[in-house]
Amino acid sequence: MKLFTMLVLILTLALIGFGADLKLSDYATPNDNLSDSADFQQAVDDLETAGGGTLRVTEGIWDFDAMIDLTTFSNANNSIVIKGEKGAVIKPDLSGSTILFYAGNQNQFSLENLVIVGDGNSSNSDAGYILYSNNVNQTRIIGCQFFGLKVTESVVYFGNTDGVIRDSLFYGTASIDAVVHAENYRGLTVSDSEFLDYGHLNGTYYSKTPEGNANWIKLNVTSPIVNATGLRQTLIQNTRFDEGATYAINADGITYLQVTGITDNVANVNGAAGITLNNVKYSEVKMSSFGYATNARPAIQAFNNSTVYVDAVWLGASVFYGQRDQGSQSFFNLKACSSGCGFSVL
C-alpha cells in the first residue's frame, strides 16, 4: 500500500511539474485560410487552468489576425512552452501596432522550433511585435526561424526578463526599432544564431530587409542597477550578422557586454558600424570578424565613457578597428593584433 501511495505521489508531482501537453490541432484546423487566433487562445487558457505546460503547434499553416495573450493568468508563475512540430508554419496578419505573442507573469516562457513567416509583400507590416515578453523570469527562443517579417517595432522585445536566443534564424526581416530589442532587461544571451538579409523556405524567397533595420540587436538600460540581482552580463556568441542593419549590436547604458565569435558584414550606409557602445561600463569583443564594407566603416564605436577590450579581431577591406570619444577607452591584446591596434579619437 505504501508503495502504491508513493507511486501515485510521484506521478502527481510529475504532472504538476510538467503541466499539460496539448495539441493545437485539437482546437483548430490548419490550411483553411481562416483565423486560428481564438482557438489558439483557448488552448493557452487551458494551459493556464492546468498550471502550465506545452502547446504543440502541429503540422500545417496557421493564420493569426489577433494577439495571443499570455499575461492574464490567475495562477501566477506558470511556465509555458509553445513548440512547433515538423511542417508547422505560423503566418501573422496583424496591424502594425499589434503583438502576436504577449507574455508576462510567468516563471518561464519558451518559443521552440517555430517557423513564422511574413506575407511576402514588402509594403505590408505583419505585426508590431512577434514576441513581447515583460515581467517573465526567463524568456527562451530556441530553434526558431523567422522569415520575411516586417514589424513596426521589433520582432522580439525583452523587458524585465532574462532572455535567451539560441539556434535561431532571423532572415529577411525589417523593423523600425530593432530585430531584437532588450530594454531594462535582466540578462541576455544570443548564441549560434543568424541575422541575414534574406532567406529561403520550401523554395520560396523571403526578404523585407530593404525596408530597413536600424539595429539587429539593440540593448538599452535606463533604470539603474542597485544590487547583484539586477542585470547580468550580456553575451552575444557565435552569431552571424549580414549588412542589413545600420548596427549589428547597439548597446546603451549596460554594465557588461561580451561579444565572442561573431561575424558581421558592416553596412555601407552613412554612420554604420559593426558594434556601437554608449555608456557601456565594460565590454569585450573577441575572436570576431568584421568585413565586406566598400566604404571605410568602423568595426566598433565607443562613446560616453565606454570601455572596450579587443582581442583577436579580424578586419576585412575598408573596415578599421574603431573610433571613440575623449571619455572612452579602448584596449588591445597586442599579441593578437599586428597593426593598426587603436581607435581614432573623435
Tell me the domain boundaries of the chain.
Answer: 62-338
C-alpha grid cell, residue 78: 506558470
Radius of gyration from C-alpha coordinates of the chain: 22
- Does residue 129 register a pLDDT over 80? yes
CA 210 to the chain's CA centroid = 20
| Euclidean distance between CA atoms 232 and 255, whole angstroms | 8
Average pLDDT over residues 136-163: 96
| Euclidean distance between CA atoms 217 and 195, whole angstroms | 9
Share of the chain above pLDDT 90, in %: 81
| Euclidean distance between CA atoms 1 and 60, whole angstroms | 47
Average pLDDT over residues 315-330: 95
C-alpha grid cell, residue 12: 502527481
Element (H, E) at 180: strand 178-183
- Does residue 1 register a pLDDT over 60? no
User: Which of 305, 324, 340 lies closest to 332 in space, CA to CA?
Assistant: 340
Neighbours of 271 (CB within 10 A): 10
DSSP, res 262: -
What's the pLDDT score for residue 10?
Answer: 37
| Euclidean distance between CA atoms 84 and 73, whole angstroms | 23
What's the pLDDT score for residue 17?
Answer: 47
Round the average pLDDT of the chain to a whole number and report it: 91
pTM, two decimals, is 0.93
Confidence bin at 81 (pLDDT 50/70/90): very high
Confidence bin at 36 (pLDDT 50/70/90): very high
Burial of 212 (0-12, 13-18, 19+ CB in 10 A): middle
Cα 271 to Cα 79, 154, 161, 186, 215, distances in angstroms: 42, 21, 31, 29, 12
| Euclidean distance between CA atoms 345 and 250, whole angstroms | 19
pLDDT in tens, 258-304: 999 999 999 999 999 999 999 999 999 999 999 987 889 999 999 99
- Does residue 2 register a pLDDT over 50? no
Q: What counts of helices (H) and strands (E) characterise the chain?
A: 2, 32
Confidence bin at 75 (pLDDT 50/70/90): low
